[in-house]
Amino acid sequence: MSESGARLDPVHNDSAHDDSAHDDSAHDDSAHHDSGGLNPGARVILFVHAHPDDETVGTGATLAHYAARSDAHVTVVTCTLGEEGEVRVPQLAQLAADQADQLGGYRYWEYRQATAALGVTDTHFLGGVGRWRDSGMMGLPTNDHPRAFWGADVDTAAADLVSIMRERRPEVLVTYDPNGFYGHPDHIQAHRVAMSGAELAADPAWRPELGAAHEIRKIYWTTLPRSVLADQFDAFAGATDNPFEGVESVEDLPFGAPDEEVDALIAGGPDAAERKRAAMRAYPTQVAPGDWLDVLGEQLGPQSLAEEHYRLVKGERGTADGPNGWESDLLS
Ligand SMILES: CC(=O)N[C@H]1[C@@H](O[C@@H]2[C@H](O)[C@H](O)[C@@H](O)[C@H](O)[C@H]2O)O[C@H](CO)[C@@H](O)[C@@H]1O
Ligand SMILES: [Zn+2]
């Protein structure tokens, strides 16, 4: 700890991270679950993600938006610690899996800072912290690690999710599409486990000891309209860190959907955008200063950080009061 008593952030070199900001009581690091600060009658939205930072990069504004709503409750389940990730900043490079192999633990603490910045306190790691390991990119030998999430038996992994679903009894589940949005094995597996969990949780004959059966009313998959992708494609053309380097057209990307296949837009507003921005800064190992994700808000305007899109795959579409006839509330 520095003289000021605040733990210095080795990357941003400030005391932005203050452990006293954390409410440790609600973070549930075991495989068993406390109340997570759930107020009786609150309407629960459950998010299932693959790695620390996906909750922020993919759904951070939505998390902040609903965490701020007095009638709603956000629960986040993350399936791995991101042990096999790259390290985007030299100061922490030796944490990598092929060196000290400490990146998972570090990303755990990045995740705590990020979810706190979003106002989310009900967080879980599937099966408990460290149960499943980041599988690495598709086709790598790390996919065969004995604890790699990609090699998990889906129903075994889903059992831990079912107990959370039957405990929190969410109205809405948010996860990825069958391709895991962009084809990463842990994202594909997170989709499979989430969808299997939703089905099993609703079956009263399946593992009744895990709680009373619960049917989730609506299920959404994260998505990105091609129109937004096209704006990003144009905005980053020629940029130093261009995520679309070498791509001819947005049509060639393994993700993105025609606008007409999108069902909901959560436009979180300035507070949600700022919270998402702060949460992204909590992940220096994944989003370094100057990276495209770090400058996204500058390139496309802060509102771009606050807008997240979803496809409804189970349940009735709610009030179409958003742009393009999209829903503006996942709970509608
Ligand atoms: C957003 C996301 O899911 N990131 C994953 C992904 O990270 C990629 C990986 O490090 C790859 O080597 C890089 O070239 C690419 O830019 C990264 O997005 O895969 C990691 C390993 O499984 C995972 O830890 C990370 O969270
Ligand atoms: Zn991921």
SS3 193: helix
Is the CB of residue 184 below 6 angstroms from any atom belonging to ligand 1?
yes
State the DSSP string of 152-186: S-HHHHHHHHHHHHHHH--SEEEE--TTTTT--HH
Supply the residue whose CA is at minimum distance from atom 6 of ligand 1. 85
Taking the domain 43-221+259-287+301-325, which CATH number applies?
3.40.50.10320
With 50 as the cut, is the pLDDT of residue 2 above it?
A: no
Is the CB of residue 85 below 6 angstroms from any atom belonging to ligand 1?
yes
Q: List the beta bridge partners of residue 75.
A: 46, 122
- How many whole angstroms from 85 Cα to the centroid of ligand 1? 5
- From residue 296, give the alpha-carbon distance in Å to each of 22, 165, 209, 240: 27, 34, 46, 13
- From residue 5, give the alpha-carbon distance in Å to each of 20, 92, 112: 10, 22, 19
Largest CA distance in the chain: 58
Would the annotation count 122 as a binding residue?
no
Q: For residues 251 and 274, what is the distance between their CA atoms, to the nearest angstrom?
A: 31
Q: For residues 142 and 84, what is the distance between their CA atoms, to the nearest angstrom?
A: 8
Identify which of 79, 81, 144, 184 to mutate to test ligand 1's pocket (most ligand atoms within 8 A of the CB). Answer: 184
Is the CB of residue 51 below 6 angstroms from any atom belonging to ligand 1?
yes
Would the annotation count 17 as a binding residue?
no
Q: What is the pLDDT of residue 180?
A: 97
Q: For residues 275 and 193, what is the distance between their CA atoms, to the nearest angstrom?
A: 29
What's the DSSP call for residue 252? G
Closest to 235 (Cα-Cα) out of 284, 296, 163: 296
Q: Are strands 307-314 and 218-223 parallel, antiparallel or unpaired?
A: antiparallel
CB-CB contact of 265 with 312 (8 Å):
no
Q: What is the pLDDT of residue 10?
A: 57
CA-based torsion, 33, 154, 210, 64: positive or negative: positive
ipTM of the complex as predicted:
0.99
Q: For residues 206 and 278, what is the distance between their CA atoms, to the nearest angstrom?
A: 41
pLDDT, tens digit (0-9, with 9 covering 90-100), for 142-191: 999 999 999 999 999 999 999 999 999 999 999 999 999 999 999 999 99
Is the CB of residue 134 below 6 angstroms from any atom belonging to ligand 1?
yes
Tokens of 38: 């759930």
Q: What is the pLDDT of residue 21?
A: 42
With 90 as the cut, is the pLDDT of residue 15 above it?
A: no
Average predicted confidence (pLDDT) for the chain: 91
CB-CB contact of 224 with 179 (8 Å):
no
